[in-house]
Chain A
Amino acid sequence: MEIQFKDVSYIYQENTPFAHKALENISFKVGSGSFVAVIGHTGSGKSTLIQHLNGLSLPSRGEITIGDFRLSADGKPKNIRDLRRKVGVVFQYPEHQLFEETVAKDIAFGPKNFDVKQEEINLRIEKLFPAVGLSEELLERSPFDLSGGQKRRVAIAGVLAMAPEVLVLDEPTAGLDPRGQREIMDMFYQLHQEQNLTTVLVTHSMEDALAYADKIIILNKGQKYMEGSPLDVFKQTEKLQKVQLGVPEVIHFLNQYNERFGTSLNYQYQSMPELAEEIKKQLEVGSHE
């Protein structure tokens, strides 16, 4: 589903002395099927922004369209339930929201609320479980007996079981070890491609934004600060530094390398061996001049 923000502002506690503008005149468009990373400091408006994607918050000004749904200050649209079924949100530390007696019941809770039949839910779980890296033996266990990584996967399965068309991920790998982080991100990326999802990833990791996103939106103090493809955004090191954001380490290293050796090596999604080869070649050529 296509997502479009038109001059969206959101003000907490409007018309009170505590009024606080969390989003200010934000406009952008995310095409159906694209993978967008939203980056910004704590307090930049990222969380407020994603709360608008399934109507948890409605804009104070401006308008949001998500597929055929329209959100504005005029109040909740009648079909907001349909919107919430189609937009799955994986919040930070989603495992804190597990509550049922068994894993199977916990996963079924969401779809059941949307009147999905138990047989259909079972079918979905059957498909989902291998995809999220869980084995079916766990289905009748209590979610509270699982390891941290497994709990996170169960919570994610609960969102995926609603068969959303838009997937919103709020720092989905926080607190996991490197292998867990890689596995979870690869899993989302695979689902994104196989099911043609539109994915919105909120992250602090420039590395993940570079690896998975086709578009990056940078927020700063509630405003859109930058928007573009990862390579374009990360070319603008100085502009990012102005708001205390860095670039992915590989790009930072190449910048330093170029400065020291007077070269112009560019990052073009090379693998680590390819990069090493380029550097080696460059060193050899450079020395014969």
Chain B
Amino acid sequence: MDRKKLVEFKNVSFQYEEEGALVLNQVSFDIYEGEWVAIIGHNGSGKSTIAKLLNGLLMPKDGEIIVDGKKVDDDTVWDIRKDVGMVFQNPDNQFVGATVQDDVAFGMENRGVPREEMRERIQRTLSAVRMQDYLITEPHRLSGGQKQRVAIASVLAIAPKVLILDEATAMLDPTGRKEIMHTVNDIQESEGLSLITITHDLQEIVQADRVIVMNKGQIWKETTPRELFLQREELREIGLDVPFVAQLTDELRKQGVPLKEAALNHEELLEELWKFNSKM
């Protein structure tokens, strides 16, 4: 494979306190250019620690992390943060500007982006998240989903190579979640950047290329969403639930309905059942 490695974790371990338990234990994985990887796990599995290590908010206790060829350390951390953009869980904690456009401009101002270029990027990134009509809106007038979309635009404006969404939908209502997943889909296609989504909601990993499942600070499995959805019982044991379609597919197979693979959505399952029905 000649795809370029953008992120490398090499035997990374981490603990918050000297004598404390290892939050991450010898974790290794690669993420390639343009790839969408979902990292999932229950609360406390170590998934969010990975995100914080990726842009140098935390430094590994052991092992090394390479982002676009550069090792993450105290000297490179400021460069790394240009390459790694992050959106966090709480929409109310990440607004700095008095208006939507000020907020998107903030990160660029810090990096000395020229004014004309800034205007152009504000337009482009806010359009990408479908918030172009809210340029001068005050943040507190936005819904949670809209706030998170602006947060995504603010990160996109500094043109990172990797975008990390760390449970960015956890505090949103179902509408807000859909908005964000839709947006993420759009920009992954249009911007061609690497995307890391961290979540415990398996419904949100359906479109990812690859899934890394964390359990007790270690990688429990690296696989595809389709493969993962077949492992209902095992996932339940580590505190995760497969989505409804995967559960129903599993039960139908147990009853002897010969469904070939795990369905990712209703349409796929209905199609499989339709085929089964016409064969009988």
- The answer to whether A178 and B240 touch (CB under 8 A), given A148-B43, A257-B270, A284-B280, is yes
What's the interface size class on B, roughly? 35 or more
Instruction: Please measure, in the bound complex, the distance between the C-alpha atom of A182 and the C-alpha atom of B43, giving whole angstroms.
Output: 13
The number of inter-chain residue pairs (CB within 8 angstroms) is 92
Q: Which of B144, B175, B243, B278 contacts A244 (CB 8 A)?
A: B175
Q: Does residue B114 face the partner (Cβ distance < 8 Å to A)? A: no
- The answer to whether A176 and B277 touch (CB under 8 A), given A204-B173, A260-B270, A283-B257, is no
Question: For B43, B89, B175, B240, which residue has the most chain A Cβ atoms within 10 angstroms?
Answer: B43
**Across the interface, do B280 and A42 meet the contact criterion of CB distance under 8 Å?**
no
Q: Which of B171, B240, B269, B278 contacts A177 (CB 8 A)?
A: B240
Instruction: Please measure, in the bound complex, the distance between the C-alpha atom of A179 and the C-alpha atom of B65, giving whole angstroms.
Output: 31
Across-interface contacts of A178 in B (CB, < 8 A): 42, 200-201, 239-241
Minimum Cβ distance to chain B for residue A37 (Å): 14
Interface string of A264-289 (1 = CB under 8 A from B): 00000000110111011001101100
Instruction: Please measure, in the bound complex, the distance between the C-alpha atom of A196 and the C-alpha atom of B61, giving whole angstroms.
Output: 51
**Across the interface, do B270 and A256 meet the contact criterion of CB distance under 8 Å?**
yes
**Across the interface, do B173 and A41 meet the contact criterion of CB distance under 8 Å?**
yes
**Across the interface, do B277 and A287 meet the contact criterion of CB distance under 8 Å?**
yes
Q: Does residue A114 face the partner (Cβ distance < 8 Å to B)? A: no
Instruction: Please measure, in the bound complex, the distance between the C-alpha atom of A177 and the C-alpha atom of B202, giving whole angstroms.
Output: 10
Across-interface contacts of A276 in B (CB, < 8 A): 248, 251-252, 254-255, 257
**Across the interface, do A249 and B244 meet the contact criterion of CB distance under 8 Å?**
yes
Q: Does residue B174 face the partner (Cβ distance < 8 Å to A)? A: yes
**Across the interface, do B44 and A147 meet the contact criterion of CB distance under 8 Å?**
yes
**Across the interface, do A174 and B43 meet the contact criterion of CB distance under 8 Å?**
no
Instruction: Please measure, in the bound complex, the distance between the C-alpha atom of A11 and the C-alpha atom of B24, giving whole angstroms.
Output: 51
Interface string of B250-266 (1 = CB under 8 A from A): 01101111000000001
Q: Which residue of A lies closest to B177 (CB)?
A: A204
Across-interface contacts of A272 in B (CB, < 8 A): 247-248, 251
What's the interface size class on A, roughly? 35 or more
**Across the interface, do B252 and A280 meet the contact criterion of CB distance under 8 Å?**
yes
Instruction: Please measure, in the bound complex, the distance between the C-alpha atom of A41 and the C-alpha atom of B178, giving whole angstroms.
Output: 14
* Main DSSP-derived SS at the A contact region: helix
Question: For A179, A180, A244, which residue has the most chain B Cβ atoms within 10 angstroms?
Answer: A179
**Across the interface, do B43 and A176 meet the contact criterion of CB distance under 8 Å?**
yes
Instruction: Please measure, in the bound complex, the distance between the C-alpha atom of A250 and the C-alpha atom of B243, giving whole angstroms.
Output: 11
Instruction: Please measure, in the bound complex, the distance between the C-alpha atom of A148 and the C-alpha atom of B256, giving whole angstroms.
Output: 42
Instruction: Please measure, in the bound complex, the distance between the C-alpha atom of A275 and the C-alpha atom of B255, giving whole angstroms.
Output: 11
**Across the interface, do B257 and A273 meet the contact criterion of CB distance under 8 Å?**
no
Q: Does residue B159 face the partner (Cβ distance < 8 Å to A)? A: no
**Across the interface, do A277 and B255 meet the contact criterion of CB distance under 8 Å?**
yes
Q: Does residue A239 face the partner (Cβ distance < 8 Å to B)? A: no
Minimum Cβ distance to chain A for residue B180 (Å): 14
Q: Does residue B143 face the partner (Cβ distance < 8 Å to A)? A: yes
Q: Does residue B276 face the partner (Cβ distance < 8 Å to A)? A: yes
Q: Which residues of A contact B (CB under 8 A)?
A: 41-42, 147-149, 174-180, 182, 204, 244, 246, 249-250, 252-253, 256-257, 260-261, 272-273, 275-277, 279-280, 283-284, 286-287
Extra contacts, 7 of them, besides A148-B43, A275-B251 (Cβ < 8 A), are A42-B173, A204-B173, A250-B244, A253-B266, A276-B254, A279-B273, A280-B255
Q: List 28 A–B pairs whose Cβ atoms lie within 8 Å, in order of A's numbering.
A: A42-B144, A42-B173, A147-B44, A148-B43, A148-B44, A149-B43, A175-B170, A176-B43, A177-B200, A178-B42, A178-B239, A178-B240, A180-B42, A180-B239, A249-B244, A250-B244, A253-B248, A260-B270, A272-B248, A272-B251, A273-B251, A275-B248, A276-B252, A276-B254, A277-B255, A283-B257, A283-B276, A284-B280
